[in-house]
Structure 1
Amino acid sequence: MTERKPRADAARNREAVLAAADALFARCESPAAVTMADIAAAAGVGKATLFRGFGDRTGLIHALYEARLAPVRRAAEEGPPPLGPSTPPSERVPALLDAVLCFKLDHRHLALALEGTGGDSPYAAGHYRLWHGTLRDALDRVPGLADSDFTAHALLAATRADLVEHLVGHEGRTREEIRARLAAFTARVLHVPAPPH
C-alpha cells in the first residue's frame, strides 16, 4: 500500500495559513492579540482547517517558526562560511549568534509569541536545542574556554525575543546597534578582537 500524499488544496491551505499568520504577527502590537479566528479569516479558510492542520494556536506558531527558521538552520548545518561547520569557531560562534539575533529582529512578534506559548519551556524546544548544541560544539573548539555548555546558554540568552523586544520596542535601539553590541560581547567571551562595525 502506498503512502497517501497530502491533497494539493491542503498544501495550498497550509501555505496560505502560514503566510496569513506571518503577516498578522508582523503587523500586530502584541502577539497575544493574534487569534486563530484572525488567522483563519486572513487565510480565507475555516477555523476547523486550522485546528485540523496545526492542532491549536501553539502548534501553528511552532509550525510557522520552524518554516521561517529552516533556511537559517540549513545554513548552520550544511552551509559554507561563516555559518557552516567548517568555519573556525572564533568566526562561526559570532556568525551563528548574529543569525539568530537577525532572525529574532526580523520576526520579533512571532518569536515573542513562540516564547509565550504557555507552560512549555523555551529551553526544551527543538530550535533551542539545535542552537545550543551547535554553539556548544563550536565553543568546544575554542582553546582555553571552559564550560562550553553554560557559555552557549549564556550567549543565547542575549538573543531572547523578550530582550530583543525590550531593546527595540522600549529602549529604541537600532538593529545595527544591537548587532554590534552582541558581537562585542561575544568577542569578549571568546577573547578575540571584536569585528569592526
Structure 2
Amino acid sequence: MLPIAGSGPVERADAARNRQKIVRAAAELVATKGVEGLALDEVAAEAGVGIGTVYRRFPDKGALAQALLDQNEREFQEAFISGPPPLGPGAPAAQRLRAFMDAYVDRLETHGQLLMVAETETPMARFVTGAYRLHRNHLVALISEIDPGADAHFRADALLAPLAAAQYAHQRGSGMTTERIKRGLRNL
C-alpha cells in the first residue's frame, strides 16, 4: 500500500480540535496576508491557542504549510491513482507521465508559494514526505513500463527535480510561461 497524504496515528479529540483551529487560522492568515504573513506566533494568536500548542503540532512553518496543502495533495493523489485517464489509469504510460508532469506544473502555479515554504523550511522536507515517495513511486512505475531497461529510480528523481517549488518560482520569475515549462519537461 502506498502512503497517502494525511494518514497517520489517531489523535486525541482535544488535540484534533487544536490542530483544526491552528490550520484554519493559518489558512485565514495566508488568505489575508499571503504566505509571507505565515508566522507561528500570529497563527497561535489567531487560533486562540498558546504558541507551545502550535509548536507541538507544527515545529516550523514548513510543517504548517504541509498541513495547509494536505487537501490539495489528497486530490492530486486521487487523480493520478484512480481518476480518469490520461492522469489516472487507463491511458498508456507515456500519456500518464505527461499528464502527471502537466498536473504537477498546474499545482505549482496555484500553490507554488506554499509548496516552497513546505519544501524549504525544514531541511530535506521535500524528500521525506509520503507525498514525494508516492510521486516518485508512481513515476518509477510509469518509466519502468515505458522503458523496462531504464534506471527508473534515477529518472523519476531527475523528472521531479525541476518540479521543486523554488525552481519553478525562479523559472516563472525569469519570464518562463507555464506552457514553456511544460514543454521543457516533456522534452526532458
Q: TM-score, normalised by structure 1?
A: 0.74
CA RMSD of aligned residues (A): 2.7
Structure 2 CA distance for partners of 1:123 and 1:89, relative to 1, 3 Å = same
Bigger shift: 78-87 or 150-159?
A: 78-87
Q: CA shift at 1:28, angstroms?
A: 3.2
1:101 aligns with 2:76: no
Gaps of 5+ in 1: 190-197
Q: Which has the larger radius of gyration?
A: 1
User: 1:111, CA displacement in angstroms?
Assistant: 0.9
Among 126, 130, 152, the residue aligned to 1:126: 130
Query: Which of 19, 25, 34 is matched with 1:20 structurally?
Result: 25
Q: Determine whether 1:117 maps to 2:116.
A: no
- For 1:17-56, what aligned pairs fall within 5 Å after superposition? 17-25=22-30, 27-28=33-34, 30=36, 34-52=38-56, 54-56=57-59
Pair 1:144–1:185, CA change in 2 (3 A): farther
Quick one: which amino acid aligns to residue 69 of structure 1? E
Q: Which has the higher contact order (CA 8 A, sep 6+)?
A: 2
CA contact (8 A) 2:105 2:182 kept: no
Q: Residues of 1 paired with 2:79 and 2:70: CA distance?
A: 14
Q: In structure 1, how many angstroms separate the alpha carbons of the residues matched to 2:44 and 2:183?
A: 43
Give structure 2 stretches of 5+ with no counterpart. Answer: 1-9
Q: What is the Cα deviation at residue 145 of structure 1? A: 7.0
- 1:186 and 1:172 map into 2 onto residues whose CA distance is 16
Q: What is the one-letter code of the residue matched to 1:17? A: I
Match of 1:156 in 2: 160
Deviations 1:39-59 (A, max 9, x none): 12233433243234x142243
The 1:185–1:55 alpha-carbon spacing in structure 2 relative to 1, beyond 3 Å, is closer
Please give the secondary structure, in 2, of the residue aligned with 1:141.
helix
C-alpha deviation, 1:25, in angstroms: 4.0
The TM-score normalised by the length of structure 2 is 0.77
Give the 3 Å change call, closer, same or farther, for CA 182–155 of structure 1 in structure 2: farther
User: Percent identity at matched positions?
Assistant: 31
Separation in structure 2 between the aligned mates of residue 22 and residue 167 of structure 1, nearest angstrom:
26
Output the amino acid matched with 2:159: L
The alpha carbon displacement at 1:70 in A equals 1.1
Offset at 1:121?
Answer: 5.0
Do the aligned residues in 2 keep the contact of 1:140 with 1:148 (CA within 8 Å)?
yes
- Contact persistence 1:13–1:45 (CA under 8 A): yes
The corresponding residue for 1:183 is 182
* Alignment-mate amino acid for residue 36 of structure 1: L
Q: Secondary structure at the match of 2:85?
A: coil
Counterpart position of 2:5? none
CA drift of 1:67 comes to 3.5
Distance (whole Å) between structure 1 residues aligned to residue 86 and residue 21 of structure 2: 33
Instruction: Assess if the C-alpha contact under 8 Å between 1:75 and 1:83 holds in 2.
Output: yes
Instruction: Name the aligned partner's letter for residue 82 of structure 1.
Output: P
